Amino acid sequence: MSPLTLLKYLCGSRAAIQRLASTRWSLAIGAALVLTASLARNYDGKYLPGEWESLLHGFGVSIPNALLLYSIFWLMSLWRGKDRPRFFHGYLAFLGLFWLTSPMAWLYAVPYERFLTPLGAIEANVRTLAFVSIWRVALMARVLSVLWQTPFIATCIVVALYGDVLVFGAASMMEAPLMDFMGGLQHSPEDAYLAGIQFSTVLLSVLASPVLLIASLVSLRWLRPTWSPVEQADSARPTHGLIALVVVALVAWVPLLWWMQPEQRNRYHAETLIRSGQLGEALNYMAERPREAFPPIWDPPPRTAYRDHAPDATAMEVALREHRGDDWAARLYFRKHLKITLRYLANRYDDPKGAAEMLKDSTDLPDEVRNGLYFHLSHDPSFSDPDRAAIREQLDKHRTKDEGAFFGDDPPAK
């Protein structure tokens, strides 16, 4: 095993596939590479001392995925009475090859958000994910066709059907905003793009599934899996060059972690305080540090577009009253509070001008909106004097003669 063998394998070389399948060293080298892939995914997205379980995600996903994909062909060989290995003997050979695709995930380490706009970074990450996914599907089809001596096209169709099922499940469970069909949710460009990607992915996977299923059933005519004789070659030890490559691939993350983890530590600590109901302490912690001390693309809770509603508006009001600051953290939560307040008008703007415009078109003003806006008039430093005057004028028009006592902070003068 050498770095050249690994490179040829990633390009689909038959000889490299057969060589790597013949040695259990593929499992050891592959496991180390899975760890490097987990670091590539999470070095700038998780605080690893506190969220260390994210490093196990690659193992948790790859082991059952490889098992299911291998089992499909093993069962087909059982059904058609063809030669096959002992189940776990063949599975371990396939798992090692599955793990050796991990260097593909190094592409996820590109920090797009450092040199692109937030929307551009999300688009670039989605394109990278699509490229790596297509590459991995094609390579796994090639591996299975070599190991089971089946036609590549027929094998690729079956693997594509399996991948389509996985994509549907992953997209359905993906953390993404609600789809804004009628334009009433007023998503940010980033949230709107993610919502569209999720909806399109689920829709396309559903539409593709019957086509792939029929094509897979037709492909069974040519799929007669027969295990390629793979002699155990424990002597095929990794070369010093391959060991050095793996060590470098692990050590290379140290400076990147040193660079990125302080931001993730701040994010993790702030979110821990927020989730534990200590929003006031979180605001103080965030205000003591510049916005640049946190990840570039970070939206702390609540994230209503993602159906994450804690802390609620009341908790934010209490924390903002006690905080009494005009800093980036306070302004962020004032915007969140205003967006939640205005959701009762079927729109989710988060700026005073949008609020004033909506009030003009509203015939019925819920108490939650009225009280929330009065809270902003009293405490929100982002409201200019013209904004305050415009909103107050509209609130006065909505106030009826039979209203009882006012529940907000700054009732209009009578």
**pLDDT number for residue 115:** 86
CA distances from 213 to 148, 201, 224, 247, 293 (A): 21, 18, 18, 43, 50
| Whole-number pLDDT of residue 193 | 78
Low-confidence ranges of the chain (pLDDT < 70): 80-82, 174-188, 229-235, 344-354, 360-363, 399-414
Exposure class string for 111-146: b at 16+ Cβ within 10 A, else e: ebbeeeebbebbbebeebeeebeeebbebbbbbbbb
**Per-position b or e across 381-413, b if 16+ CB within 10 A of its CB:** eebeeebbebbbebbeeeeeeeeeeeebebbee
Which burial class, exposed, middle or buried, applies to 317 when counting CB atoms under 10 A from its CB (0-12, 13-18, 19+)?
Answer: buried
Q: Are 374 and 408 in contact (CB under 8 A)?
A: yes
Instruction: Compute the distance between CA of residue 92 and CA of residue 112 in angstroms, rounded to an integer.
Output: 36
pLDDT at 385: 83
SS3 state of residue 198: helix
Q: What is the pLDDT of residue 391?
A: 80
Q: What is the DSSP letter of 308?
A: B
pLDDT at 187: 63
Identity of residue 157:
I
Q: What is the pLDDT of residues 58-70, one digit of tens each?
A: 999 999 999 999 9
Contact yes or no for 369/363 (Cβ under 8 A) = no
How many whole angstroms separate alpha carbon 148 and alpha carbon 137?
16
The reported pLDDT for the residue numbered 406 is: 45
pLDDT in tens, 348-405: 556 666 677 777 666 677 778 888 888 888 888 888 888 788 888 777 777 653 354 4
Is residue 192 within 8 A of residue 111, CB to CB? The reply is: no
The Cα–Cα gap between 134 and 159 comes to: 11
- Main-chain dihedrals φ then ψ at residue 180, nearest 5 degrees: -100, 85
Nearest to 55 by CA among 40, 66, 69: 40
CA dihedral 80, 85, 91, 94 (to 10 degrees): -90
- The structure tokens 């079956």 sit at 158
- What are the structure tokens assigned to 230, written together? 């793979």
User: What pLDDT is stored for residue 38 in this prediction?
Assistant: 93
User: By C-alpha distance, which of 283, 289, 291, 290 is closest to 315?
Assistant: 283
- HSE at residue 94, side-chain half, CA atoms within 13 A, is 32
| Spatial separation of the C-alpha atoms in residues 362 and 21, rounded to whole Å | 68
Bridge partners of 308, per DSSP, are 303
pLDDT of residue 414: 35
Give the whole-angstrom CA distance, residue 336 versus residue 300: 10
DSSP one-letter code for 364: -
